[in-house]
Structure 1
Amino acid sequence: MPIPKQSGFISSTRARGAVAAVLCAASLFLAGCQAQPEFRPLTSEVPPPPTFATVPAEEACQAAQARYALGRPIDAPLLEEMRTRTGSKSARTSPAGTPLPAPADPARLNVDVDPQGLVVAARCG
């Protein structure tokens, strides 16, 4: 029994899958090209730079040694490395701009973190 010949543009299943994959990749490429960059106007309203409070020489914590971590996402290994590099006895994170609870410990490193989880400042206390 002869196999009936199919009519149409694409007759095999494999060819249909290849065409579908090419069309999908092309649409994703075009969608990526049309994404608009975030508009950030140049104004004088710039956030203040990160602050690094230094303590007297007799204290162990040296917050300036934590500058390498600015802009990096905070996690436990990074916090421990910051604590080690600053010579502090302990370290903790807090949301940027929130006052720290008393009592202050001059040998403790306080790391300020923005809502995205990035290090924005470090200080002792």
Structure 2
Amino acid sequence: MPILQQSGFISSPRARGAMAGGLCAATLFIAGCQAQPKFRPLTSEAPPPPVLVTVPAEEACQAGQARYALGRPFNPPLLEEMRTRTGSKSARSSAAGTPLPPPGDPARLTVDVDPQGLVVAARCG
């Protein structure tokens, strides 16, 4: 079966498909190169920067002041004493290694307690 007829057209269906695919690809390539980007003018309408919350010094939690309680048996009076010594507004306890929600209150003391009931860590948040 001849590929070229006397009129100069390609007669093979396979060759016609390849030619049509190449023509479509070239058309899309040229159209993509000619697409204009969206114009975005520079303006002063930028959003304001985020506001960072600062905790006043008298409300700040100082977890380092709770080091005296490491290794001691945990109980509610010890938690209250730790809260007072660290200057925290509130305090909570959690099992060591248990994931907690992200800290929402930097003035809160969080005390980690191991399975034996001993204080293993203290942190703010």
**TM-score interval for Structure 1 and Structure 2 normalised by the shorter chain:** 0.5 to 0.7
Higher relative CO (Cα under 8 Å, sequence separation at least 6) belongs to 1
Question: What is the CA distance between 1:117 and its match in structure 2?
Answer: 0.5
Number of corresponding residues: 70
Query: 5+ unaligned residues in a row in structure 2: which ranges?
Result: 1-54
Matched, 1:76 2:72: no
Q: What residue is the counterpart of 1:6 in the other structure?
A: none
Find the counterpart in structure 2 of residue 109 from structure 1: 109
Q: Which amino acid aligns with 1:114?
A: D
Give the fraction of aligned pairs with identical amino acids, expressed as a percent.
83
Give 2:67's aligned residue.
Answer: 67
For 1:95-118, what per-residue CA distance to the aligned partner results, in whole angstroms no more than 9, with x for missing partners? 011121245210000000000110
Normalised TM-score (structure 2):
0.52
Q: CA RMSD in A?
A: 1.7
Equivalence for 1:85 = 85
What one-letter code is carried by the residue in structure 1 that aligns with 2:69?
A
What is the one-letter code of the residue matched to 1:68?
A: Y
Q: TM-score, normalised by structure 1?
A: 0.52
- Cα distance between partner residues in 1 of 2:96 and 2:87: 22
The structure with the larger Rg is 2
Amino acid in structure 1 at the alignment position of 2:115: P
Unpaired segments of 5 or more residues in structure 1?
1-55
- 1:81 maps to amino acid: E
